[in-house]
Structure 1
Amino acid sequence: MDSSKIEVAHDFFPYIRIYKDGRVEKCVIPDFVPPSLDSHSGVSSKDVVITPKGVSARIFLPNIKITDHPHRKLPVLVYFHAFSTIYHRYVSSLVAEADVVAVSVEYRLAPEHPLPTAYDDCFTAFKWVASHSKGDGPEAWLNDHGDLDRVFLAGDSAGANLAHSVAVRIGGEFGVDGVKKISGLALIHPYFEGKEPLGPEASDEEKMAKVGKLWLYLCPSTIGCNDPRINPAADPRVSSLACNRVGVWVSEKDYLREPGGLFYYETLRKSGWGGVAELIEEEGEDHDFHLFTPDSEKAVAMLKGVASFLNQ
């Protein structure tokens, strides 16, 4: 047997492994759960295709009683992360707790679709949501129940990075399709590689050396540690973030706590952005603990905290 077929070139456990023969093994393969009507919470969900190139979304609608203003408008939450059982469960629970309409975005994943594909997909999805601002968009649930004057962006880990990127782009373009600003940005355990950007005297090799190998693999076009997609301190557009409120959730044992959430929070505060940022830290917990132990006391409290952020 050719040894290259079993020799590992790069091991990015618990995400992916790349073998010397070019084969890619995903260590965690997201499962698929179909949309449904949750008998316990009354939350309904359905899937929609945004573009034929592979961008889709799952829309979640809370239990709306006919006797309780069936056409009342609710805040809209755009949540960035691909479909799976754990995200279906989490977003559904958040919709029930916060009483919002949610659009969970299914974007194309790296390495099959190298970055910045996911960034473009997520902005395309936001533009699709914004197309409902006059009540005549392609999706009835958003037309009938979504308040496009109260739009929130959120995500966890890589999804939080993507949510920030979309918020920055909205601010830089002074709104999108009738949505001038968003009401808030909720980032849970965000994935950034926080470092002060290198000066113009630094070489390309030095900039590349200061980012992780996983990022280099997923984003072949990166310029290294000065890439604003991975380093918010390198992005002059941060000060024009398209909202006045940001919540950043971090966990004590999360490996992304300092280079991710804490660095982002401090960068935002020093950027000249005029909004209010709140840092919420959970002691003794690890990355994305709320997804894997959703019924734990701390995870339930965190869910209520995110819902409160959406309802302020």
Structure 2
Amino acid sequence: MSIKENHKLIREQPLSLSLSLSLSLMEPDSNSSKSEVAFERLPMIRVYKDGRVERLLGTDFVPPSTDPETGVSSKDVTIPVAAAATTATSEPSSHVISARLFLPKLTDSRKLPLLIYFHGGGFCISSPFTAIHHGYLNALVAEAKVVAVAVDHRKAPEHPIPVAYEDAWAAIQWAASHCDGDGPEAWLNEHADFGRVFLSGESSGEKMMISMYTYFSHMVLVACYSQLLFIYFHSGFI
């Protein structure tokens, strides 16, 4: 399944039966439940009593490309996420999340700072693939001359917090796997300077960024993150 197809699936999909949401879900064969709203947070999301989730914003998809105005190139990648076992008898599972990489127009062979970006959207909508985030990152990467990894974390309510934070940490670890030049992604191997790494985010992404600082304060990741800086962005969303 392509990243675009996966992105479309999260617009409307049933909640997992394992989620303990206090939405008083009705039986799936009840016709009335298909249109009854259990919860909504306008203008972002609506959850129906049959478990269907309708996202009202942040569902558009802009394909990766080379931007004609800035010369910034982008492409999509997948990042594996290992999840811990949820019970004493269950086995750990694994998931794959998506990310979009941005590379500015290169004028020489010098390596560039690495920016890891977490988008906003209240943990429940949006992605790096929307027009607003794609355009913003094109402009930022062109102006700052950085290589960017924009993370598409899994969304609530299908994937409640702290899943988004686990995805953010997995993305940081994935990026760090390139510091010796032998990671799975050539752009990071060839162009990213792991002595200059920045985390940034806006709205809910800013909260994730701050939480990642807590992880870094208590865990040793890899020596290649010798300089890690945090950029604060905030908008009206939570």
* TM-score normalised by length of structure 2: 0.72
1:57 to 96, 99, 104: 99
> Unaligned 5+ residue runs, structure 1?
190-249, 257-312
What is the distance in 2 between the residues matched to 1:47 and 1:16?
A: 26
What is the distance in 2 between the residues matched to 1:88 and 1:168?
A: 28
Maintained 8 Å contact 1:49/1:57: yes
Question: Counterpart of 2:138 in 1: which secondary structure?
Answer: helix
Other-structure match for 1:239: none
Judging by fraction of residues, say which structure has more helix: 1
Deviations 1:52-82 (A, max 9, x none): 72212111111102xxx2x201110000122
Aligned length in residues:
188
Instruction: Quote the sequence identity (%).
Output: 49
What is the distance in 1 between the residues matched to 2:159 and 2:237?
A: 26
Question: Counterpart of 1:49 in 2: which secondary structure?
Answer: strand
1:80 to 110, 115, 118: 118
* TM-score normalised by length of structure 1: 0.56
Deviations 1:233-270 (A, max 9, x none): xxxxxxxxxxxxxxxxx6xxx476xxxxxxxxxxxxxx
Shift of 1:29: 4.2
2:200 to 124, 130, 154: 154
Counterpart amino acid of residue 74 in structure 1: L
What is the distance in 1 between the residues matched to 2:34 and 2:77?
A: 39
Other-structure match for 2:66: 37
Deviations 1:114-150 (A, max 9, x none): 2211111110110011111222222111111111010
Maintained 8 Å contact 2:196/2:225: no
Maintained 8 Å contact 2:176/2:225: no
Alignment of structure 1 residues 209-288 onto 2, 5 Å: 254=236
Counterpart amino acid of residue 92 in structure 1: N
Deviations 1:153-172 (A, max 9, x none): 01111111111112211121
Shift of 1:113: 1.7
Higher relative contact order (CA 8 A, sep 6+): 2
Other-structure match for 2:89: none
Question: Counterpart of 2:194 in 1: which secondary structure?
Answer: strand
Structure 1 window deviating more from structure 2 (18-27 vs 101-110): it is: 18-27
Counterpart amino acid of residue 145 in structure 2: D
What is the distance in 2 between the residues matched to 1:143 and 1:159?
A: 25
Alignment of structure 1 residues 18-33 onto 2, 5 Å: 18-33=47-62
Question: Counterpart of 2:169 in 1: which secondary structure?
Answer: helix
What is the distance in 2 between the residues matched to 1:169 and 1:179?
A: 16
Maintained 8 Å contact 1:54/1:108: no
Other-structure match for 1:111: 157
1:184 to 2:229 alignment: yes
Deviations 1:264-292 (A, max 9, x none): xxxxxxxxxxxxxxxxxxxxxxxxxxxxx
Other-structure match for 2:175: 129
Maintained 8 Å contact 2:118/2:200: yes
Counterpart amino acid of residue 100 in structure 2: R
Task: Please give the root-mean-square deviation of Cα atoms over the aligned residues, in Å.
Answer: 2.0
